[in-house]
Amino acid sequence: VLGRMPFATQPSREEWLDRSQAGEIDVPPVWLAWTRRWFETSPLALSTRRHTYYALIKAGRWLHAEHPDRADPESWDRELVASWIATVERLKVGELAKSVNANGMRARYGEILSPRSKASLIGSVRLFFGDLQEWEWIERRFDPRRALGIPRSIAALIGPDPRLIADEVWAKLM
């Protein structure tokens, strides 16, 4: 008889949020409340919600530092969106992050973010606002698909990621 389960069970949405302390550092409470509400409501896979949540926490830290009076998602407009995108384009590894255990990040600290990381940050905020508007939690003041589209300057740098295909796999494909 096993004393405990050999595989850990996934925490519930509420348990995961309770354990995550990411939003407790330099994130406006109103922004954190909206991101947590989104996290608890979204039907997306847990990994997608976690990834999006952490990107939203970074956006919250940016709001705290640059636009503390605009922390409520209802106050966002195209001008603030453009300011967020401009910030993401200049963002460096480690900025807006408060992780204490990210050795990989420490090794690259201060480098320019990769184009894929920039696109991911912008895309997470686009997903968040798209859901808030679709669920009619906030008024539609801008189109997230257009206003938070990936800028050409970033998209042009994201190229294919070719991988070697084993000969036997290639033979099956042919």
Percentage of the chain modeled with pLDDT above 70: 82
Question: CB-hemisphere CA count at 13 Å for 88?
Answer: 29
User: Following DSSP, what letter does each residue of 18-52 receive, concatenated?
Assistant: HH--GGGSS--HHHHHHHHHHHHH--S-HHHHHHH
Report the pLDDT value the prediction gives residue 97, as an integer from 0 to 100: 79
Query: Using one digit for the tens of pLDDT, what is the confidence trace for 107-143?
Result: 777 788 899 999 999 999 999 999 999 999 999 999 9
Angstrom distance (rounded) from CA 135 to CA 147: 18
Report the pLDDT value the prediction gives residue 163, as an integer from 0 to 100: 78
Question: CB-hemisphere CA count at 13 Å for 159?
Answer: 3
Angstrom distance (rounded) from CA 155 to CA 24: 32
**134: which 2 tokens?**
């679709």
Query: Using one digit for the tens of pLDDT, what is the confidence trace for 72-88?
Result: 999 999 999 999 999 99
pLDDT score of 104 more than 70? no
